[in-house]
């Protein structure tokens, strides 16, 4: 779908007409915008940071060079990403973070996922006839906005793990917002492809020229409103949740087209929640991830647990055997994910049962080495406490991921998002608001059986984000990895771990390896890569196969003797920077 450029009517510049809202995105919200040439892994001796934008990665490395911690680096990178990569994440969204402290080998996780307003119910994204709304009818406007978690996460993580003053961490983003930065080719391409940003006056003035055409790559963007917002948050951590900024957010959400139900009480009640870290073995590595309300950590470990009984090392990368096994393991993990995983404060979560060795063995026995099982059904794990129906959730590939390891060996793996590309297409005080509520199931029950991930007041929607920390058997740090990509995140991260562990690839090679994944549907092969050559063989084994762009944004750092080895995804603009 294209947007016509502005035309002059009776001497007055008129906005272009907008077409009917489609049920699917006109282009993938974080779609392909080119793939950089293959590159070598980055090697450093003391510290390293990696992010989806080179400006943010350089800022993160500079914080580490000044003696900052991995948490300090992550905070600074997030604030810059919200400016230079606004379509993906920012202070108007949420995040999941894992933090590893080298001194005592402790690992903690932070849930800064958005919450639903208290005034919502399970019919939030249903039509008057009780049918699921079309996706963008739900997304665009205030209806889809949950209470953002990133601002509170920044302050809580800094109190627990920071070293440099917060002012030092806010300074790069504030200066960049006031000085301006050049629109990157990726941001320019995504603005040009989006038909909804023009509807919001602040976003229109920021991303478009006066004739309503998108500002091209290389244009200098200045965002004094974002600088002022950051100064307010720096001066008063509560301003975003109880002060003037809170009122601005609520006013935007509850006004205009497709208004939402967010209140000042919802904003004031928000909390970042510590969650149990989900860890499990894969070969000689402990894989630790985020538990519910993210499904990422559990699903990644289910995939790896099912694969543990197969010799992937011998099968090798980019082979029909390895592609088939990974796809079948992924089917089983997604069948369980779609049925059981949701906000643990609302739905009992059988996490231990889903990761039980015996249960995973029974799931692995369903894998036929010669033939695809087709669509998998959920299993019956130990500790299952209720009958639940699979939901109906659309997750498109937005989001960002960053990683950092500091001079003391502390590490952060953080996945952060406003959900869809450009979120709810509502811009407030220089930042975009999330559309995170559309990560809930649009239907709340099937034939009277409730859906675990249904909309409920104060609930956090299920996520696929999978920030991951890898540990050695003695509890020391092995590495950090993660990716954006909607529900494909799970497959991207699992594949990268297989590549680094089974095939002993360095992070850059593991990231660049062609994607092969399955979300309990078609087996997806990455277009323009050697994976395409597997299509006929997989179809002969009963797979339905699709070929297309699989735009991950993987960042990874591994700890090797005396050095750090890092990589960043060439499918986006990211880099790893270390010294």
Catalogue the active-site residues.
399
Helix, strand, coil fractions of the chain, as percent rounded to 5 = 35, 20, 45
Q: Could you tell me the two tokens for 271? A: 């909390």
CA-to-CA distance for 360 and 452, rounded, in angstroms?
22
* Residue in the block written with tokens 């100064």: 231
How far apart are the C-alpha atoms of 420 and 429, rounded to whole Å? 19
Q: Which helix (H) or strand (E) is 469 found in, with range?
A: strand 468-471
C-alpha closest to that of 278 among 214, 341, 185: 341
H-assigned helices in 180-319? 185-193, 201-207, 224-235, 239-242, 244-253, 264-268, 296-307, 312-315
406/546 Cα distance (integer angstroms):
41
Q: How far is CA 39 from CA 19, 42, 512, in A?
A: 41, 9, 9
Cα–Cα distance, 39 to 576 (Å, whole number): 11
Q: List the helix and strand counts (H, then E) for the chain.
A: 19, 25
Name residue 401's beta-bridge partners.
415
């Amino acid at each position: 779908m294209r947007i016509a450029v502005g035309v002059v009517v009776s001497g007055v510049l008129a906005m272009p007409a907008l077409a009917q809202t489609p049920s699917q995105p006109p282009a993938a919200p974080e779609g392909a915008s080119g793939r950089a040439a293959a590159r070598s892994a980055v090697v450093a001796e003391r510290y390293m940071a990696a992010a989806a934008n080179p400006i943010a990665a350089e800022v993160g490395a500079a914080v580490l060079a000044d003696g900052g911690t991995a948490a300090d680096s992550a905070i600074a990178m997030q604030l810059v990403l919200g400016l230079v990569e606004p379509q993906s994440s920012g202070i108007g969204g949420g995040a999941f973070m894992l933090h590893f402290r080298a001194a005592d080998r402790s690992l903690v996780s932070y849930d800064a996922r958005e919450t639903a307003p208290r005034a919502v119910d399970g019919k939030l994204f249903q039509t008057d006839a009780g049918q699921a709304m079309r996706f963008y009818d739900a997304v665009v406007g205030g209806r889809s906005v949950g209470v953002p978690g990133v601002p509170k996460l920044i302050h809580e993580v800094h109190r627990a793990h920071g070293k440099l003053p917060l002012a030092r961490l806010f300074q790069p983003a504030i200066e960049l917002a006031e000085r301006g930065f050049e629109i990157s080719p990726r941001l320019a391409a995504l603005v040009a492809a989006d038909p909804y940003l023009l509807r919001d006056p602040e976003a229109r003035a920021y991303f478009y020229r006066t004739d309503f055409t998108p500002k091209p790559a290389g244009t200098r963007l200045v965002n004094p409103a974002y600088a002022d917002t950051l100064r307010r948050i720096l001066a008063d951590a509560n301003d975003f949740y109880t002060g003037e900024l809170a009122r601005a957010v609520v006013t935007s959400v509850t006004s205009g087209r497709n208004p939402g139900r967010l209140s000042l009480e919802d904003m004031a009640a928000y909390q970042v929640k510590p969650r149990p870290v989900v860890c499990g073995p894969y070969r000689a590595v402990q894989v630790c991830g985020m538990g519910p309300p993210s499904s990422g950590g559990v699903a990644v470990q289910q995939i790896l647990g099912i694969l543990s009984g197969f010799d992937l090392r011998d099968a090798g990368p980019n082979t029909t055997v390895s592609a088939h096994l990974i796809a079948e393991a992924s089917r089983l993990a997604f069948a369980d994910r779609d049925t059981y995983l949701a906000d643990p404060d609302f739905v009992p979560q059988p996490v231990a049962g889903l990761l039980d060795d015996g249960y995973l063995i029974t799931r692995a026995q369903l894998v036929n080495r010669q033939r695809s099982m087709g669509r998998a059904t959920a299993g019956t794990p130990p500790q299952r406490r209720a009958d639940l129906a699979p939901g109906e959730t659309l997750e498109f590939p937005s989001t960002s991921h960053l990683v950092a390891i500091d001079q003391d060996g502390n590490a952060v793996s953080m996945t952060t998002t406003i959900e869809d590309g450009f979120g709810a297409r509502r811009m407030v005080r220089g930042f975009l608001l999330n559309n995170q509520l559309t990560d809930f199931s649009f239907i709340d029950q099937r034939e009277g059986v409730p859906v675990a991930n249904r909309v409920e007041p104060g609930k956090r929607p299920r996520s696929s984000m999978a920030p991951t920390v890898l540990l050695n058997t003695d509890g020391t740090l092995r590495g950090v990895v993660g990716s954006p990509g909607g529900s494909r995140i799970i497959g991207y991260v699992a594949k990268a771990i297989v590549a680094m562990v089974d095939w002993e690839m360095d992070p850059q090679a593991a990231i660049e390896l062609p994607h092969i994944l399955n979300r309990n549907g078609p087996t997806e092969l990455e277009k323009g890569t050697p994976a395409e050559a597997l299509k006929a063989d997989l179809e002969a084994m009963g797979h339905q196969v699709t070929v297309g762009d699989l735009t991950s944004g993987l960042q990874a750092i591994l700890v090797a003797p005396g050095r750090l080895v890092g990589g960043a995804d060439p499918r986006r603009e990211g880099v790893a920077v270390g010294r």
